[in-house]
């Protein structure tokens, strides 16, 4: 078994899906001959043919519309949008069509499509290439939104997304594409698509994060452990639906919660989680819920990117705040 980067794990999941199900097709800008802008789909056109792995024009609305139409006609399309910042023009197809098929047809039709997109900052990319607007997608009824945090989870969650009968937006934190390696068996095992994962158990504090922020949260938890603070770390993974049960159970145990995401703070998913805890765990809370997030600005250019992104130091400062709350 070989250690894989997230890029290689995603490619392996796509390859497995193409091999096991003839209805699975891939398309997007440069996904065929060039293997995608990050080379995630490198070699798949050569292996499975141009009929199943297709290059498309630079037209995101068309890509999303093709996916909706293909899914409605019995295929399982996996469409790629090069960067999340280019995803905005797909919202009409996602919100007005893909997400409504089951309801519109009273369950006669579903829309088994996956829309993949690299998202988030951390690679010093230009404007439109570092967006983290997952909350906008999570607000659409009928869509699932998934973010992996490691190669193994990317493999299992992508297979689950492809096999799901409803539309899934699969956001890939490009900061993690080549950042770490781990052993990933090509066993075809899908992970539960709507469950959070308790990465680390603790007693004093719950930290909820997803995507690239999980690594920062883990580093913060290591530093807090040196100070005698035991942190429970939750990888949310499924941003829609949110596994509220796992989060509530953790906070009922620890009494404190920090939520970390690189998206802007206002109306981010952290606010939804905090509201849920206020509604259901108020008597368990020993301190206010704290969010450690990006700022309410456009993601800055390379020079200020590190200042914008939440890091372990900011998480540790938030932990100090909640632990000292009287």
Q: Could you read off the pLDDT of 13-54 as tens digits, one per residue?
A: 999 999 999 999 999 999 999 999 999 999 999 999 999 999
pLDDT per position as a tens digit, 128-185: 889 899 999 999 999 999 999 999 999 999 999 999 999 999 999 999 999 999 999 9
The whole-number pLDDT of residue 1 equals: 67
User: 3-state secondary structure string, the chain?
Assistant: CCEECHHHHHHHHHHHHHHHCCCEEEEECCCCCCCCCCCCCCCHHHHHCCCCEEECCCCHHHHHHHHHHHHHCCCEEEEECCCHHHCHHHHHHHHHCHHHHHHHCCCCCCCCCEEEEEECCCCCCCCCCCCCCHHHHHCCCCCEEECCCCHHHHHHHHHHHHHCCCCEEEEEEHHHCCCCCEECCCCCCCCCCCCCEEEECCCCEEEEECCCHHHHHHHHHHHHHHCCCCEEEEECCEEECCCHHHHHHHHHHHCCEEEEEEEECCCCHHHHHHHHHHHHCHHHCCCCCEEEEECCCCCCCHHHHHHHCCCHHHHHHHHHHHHCCC
Q: Give 124's pLDDT tier (boundaries 50, 70, 90).
A: confident
**Are the C-beta atoms of 273 and 247 separated by less than 8 Å?**
yes
Cα radius of gyration rounded to whole Å, the chain: 20
Mean pLDDT of the region 265-294: 97
Higher-confidence residue of 81 and 125: namely 81
Q: Which of 195, 194, 311, 208 lies closest to 251 in space, CA to CA?
A: 208
- Per cent of the chain over pLDDT 70 is 99
- Per cent of the chain over pLDDT 90 is 93
In the chain, the domains with their CATH numbers are 3-183 (3.40.50.970), 197-323 (3.40.50.920)
| Catalytic site positions | 129
Whole-prediction pTM value? Answer: 0.96
Which own/partner contact pairs does 97-101 have at CB distance under 8 Å and 24+ positions apart? Answer: 97/65, 97/68, 98/64, 98/67, 98/68, 98/71, 98/142, 98/143, 98/167, 99/140, 99/141, 99/142, 99/143, 99/167, 100/142, 101/68, 101/71, 101/72, 101/142, 101/167
Pick from 39-43, 122-126, 148-152, 267-271: least confident: 122-126
Q: Give 127's pLDDT tier (boundaries 50, 70, 90).
A: confident
Q: Give 326's pLDDT tier (boundaries 50, 70, 90).
A: low
The per-residue pLDDT of the chain, averaged, comes to 96
The whole-number pLDDT of residue 2 equals: 79
The whole-number pLDDT of residue 232 equals: 98
């Amino acid at each position: 078994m070989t250690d894989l980067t997230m890029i290689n794990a995603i490619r392996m999941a796509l390859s497995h899906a193409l091999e096991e199900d003839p209805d699975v097709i891939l398309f997007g800008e440069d996904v065929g001959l060039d293997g995608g802008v990050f080379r995630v789909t490198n070699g798949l056109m050569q292996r499975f043919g141009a009929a199943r792995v297709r290059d498309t024009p630079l037209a995101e609305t068309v890509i999303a519309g093709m996916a909706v139409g293909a899914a409605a006609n019995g295929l399982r399309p996996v469409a790629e949008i090069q960067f999340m910042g280019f995803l905005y023009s797909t919202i009409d197809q996602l919100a007005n069509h893909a997400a409504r098929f089951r309801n519109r047809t009273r369950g006669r039709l579903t829309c088994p499509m996956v829309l993949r997109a690299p998202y988030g900052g951390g690679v010093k990319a230009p404007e439109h290439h570092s967006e983290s607007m997952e909350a906008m997608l999570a607000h659409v009824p009928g869509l699932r939104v998934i973010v992996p945090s490691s190669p193994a989870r990317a493999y299992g969650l992508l297979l689950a997304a492809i096999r799901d009968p409803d539309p899934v937006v699969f956001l890939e934190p490009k900061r993690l594409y080549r950042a770490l390696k781990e052993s990933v068996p090509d066993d075809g095992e899908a992970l539960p698509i709507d469950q959070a994962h308790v990465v680390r158990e603790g007693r004093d504090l719950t930290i909820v994060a997803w995507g690239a922020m999980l690594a920062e949260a883990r580093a913060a938890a290591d530093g807090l452990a040196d100070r005698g603070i035991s942190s429970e770390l939750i990888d949310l993974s499924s941003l829609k639906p949110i596994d509220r049960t796992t989060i509530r159970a953790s906070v009922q145990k620890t009494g404190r919660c920090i939520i970390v995401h690189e998206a802007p703070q206002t109306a981010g998913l952290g606010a939804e989680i905090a509201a849920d805890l206020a509604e259901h765990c108020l008597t368990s809370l020993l301190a206010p819920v704290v969010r450690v997030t990006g700022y309410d600005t456009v993601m800055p250019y390379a020079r200020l990117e590190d200042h914008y992104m939440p890091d372990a130091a900011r998480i540790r400062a938030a932990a100090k705040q909640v632990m000292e709350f009287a």
